[in-house]
Amino acid sequence: MNSLRRKNFDHTTPTWVHGRPIYFITQCASQRGVNQLCHPNVSKNIFAATQHYQNQLRWHAHLLLLMPDHLHALISFPKAETMQQVFRSWKHYLSYKYNLEWQRDFFDHRLRSDESHQEKIAYIRNNPVRAGLIVTSCDWPYVWEAGR
């Protein structure tokens, strides 16, 4: 038995969840500790792909924040496709078109009714502050928000 074998995550929404839940998603670049994402041209392409998926109604992205070697997002997905299908397609496009390298899977957490959407936004936006990259969250240029 190989104890180092990576487990697959189950990204299916339980059948008893109604509506379009919001997911807090973390996706890591394949090389941790290396700045792959926080470059103006790279972020421009990631944000353009995010907006394209938004326009195509493949998802409703509320917020996406890039860190040097990972990203955090708050996203809702329609019932037509699974979260895994949509997110994998988006990553594949960015990998193929812009040579970005991602880890195979991603981490997701469905926001429960007792969790504040605004608290999660604040948590994500403060990630670069906690990492010591900036002093205040409004100084971080690598963030995309719906409607902005």
* Number of domains the chain contains: 1
Handedness of CA 77, 82, 84, 88 (dihedral sign): negative
Contact predicate 20/78, CB 8 Å: yes
Among 12-21, 91-100, 102-111, 139-148, name the one with the lowest average pLDDT: 12-21
Distance CA 54, CA 86 (A): 11
Residue 148 has pLDDT above 90, yes or no: no
Exposed, middle or buried, 82 (CB in 10 Å: 0-12/13-18/19+)? middle
Q: Does residue 9 sit within a domain?
A: no
77 or 148: whose pLDDT is higher? 77
What residues are paired with 144 via a beta bridge? 64
Q: Does residue 110 sit within a domain?
A: yes
Predicted confidence at residue 57, as pLDDT, reads: 93
Q: Which residues form the domain of 57?
A: 22-145
- pLDDT tens digits, residue range 111-145? 987 668 889 999 999 999 999 999 999 999 999 99
The answer, as to whether pTM is greater than 0.75, is: yes
> Residue 131 maps to which CATH number?
3.30.70.1290
Q: Does residue 75 sit within a domain?
A: yes
Distance CA 73, CA 57 (A): 16
Q: Does residue 12 sit within a domain?
A: no
147 or 86: whose pLDDT is higher? 86
Q: Does residue 3 sit within a domain?
A: no
Which DSSP helix (H) or strand (E) runs through 50? Answer: helix 40-55
Residue 6 has pLDDT above 90, yes or no: no
Predicted confidence at residue 114, as pLDDT, reads: 65
Q: Does residue 28 sit within a domain?
A: yes
- pLDDT tens digits, residue range 41-90? 999 999 999 999 999 999 999 999 999 999 999 999 988 889 999 999 99
Q: Does residue 105 sit within a domain?
A: yes
Q: Does residue 4 sit within a domain?
A: no
